[in-house]
Amino acid sequence: MVRALSRRFERIVVFSGAGMSADSGIPTFRGGSNGLWQAFNPEELATPSAWRRNRDLVWGWYEWRRGLVAAAEPNPGHLAVASMQRQFGATIITQNVDDLHERGGARDVLHLHGSLFAARCDTCSRAYSLGEAPQEAQREREPPRCDRCGGHIRPGVVWFGEGLDDGTVTLASRAIAACDLLLIVGTSGVVYPAAGMVGLAPRDAVIIEVNPQPSMSSPATDRIHKWPTTAALGLPQILQQLCRDSTSGGDERSDLK
Ligand SMILES: [Zn+2]
Counting the structural domains of the chain, the total is: 2
| Ligand 1 mean position, distance from CA 124 (Å) | 4
CATH number reported for the structural domain that contains residue 132 in this entry: 3.30.1600.10
* DSSP at 201: S
Domain housing 246: 1-26+73-113+164-257
- Nearest 5°: the CA angle 240, 6, 2 is 60
Range 159-171 burial, b when 16+ CB lie within 10 A, else e: beeeeebeebbee
173 in the same domain as 86: yes
Report d(CA 90, CA 159) in Å as an integer.
28
Does residue 94 or residue 138 have the better pLDDT?
Answer: 94
85 in the same domain as 22: yes
| pLDDT mean over 62-83 | 95
20 in the same domain as 101: yes
Instruction: Give the active site residue among 78, 101, 111, 113.
Output: 113
* DSSP at 183: E
122 in the same domain as 14: no
209 in the same domain as 123: no
221 in the same domain as 151: no
- Helix H segments across the chain? 18-22, 42-45, 48-53, 55-71, 76-88, 100-103, 166-177, 194-198, 231-256
| Ligand 1 mean position, distance from CA 144 (Å) | 11
CATH number reported for the structural domain that contains residue 180 in this entry: 3.40.50.1220
Its pTM stands at 0.90
142 in the same domain as 229: no
pLDDT digits (tens, 9 = 90+) for 221-256: 678 898 999 999 999 999 999 998 777 654 443 333
Is 225 annotated as catalytic?
Answer: no
Query: Residue 251's pLDDT is what?
Result: 44
User: Ligand 1 (ion): which residues have CB within 5 A?
Assistant: 121, 123-124, 126, 146, 148-149, 151
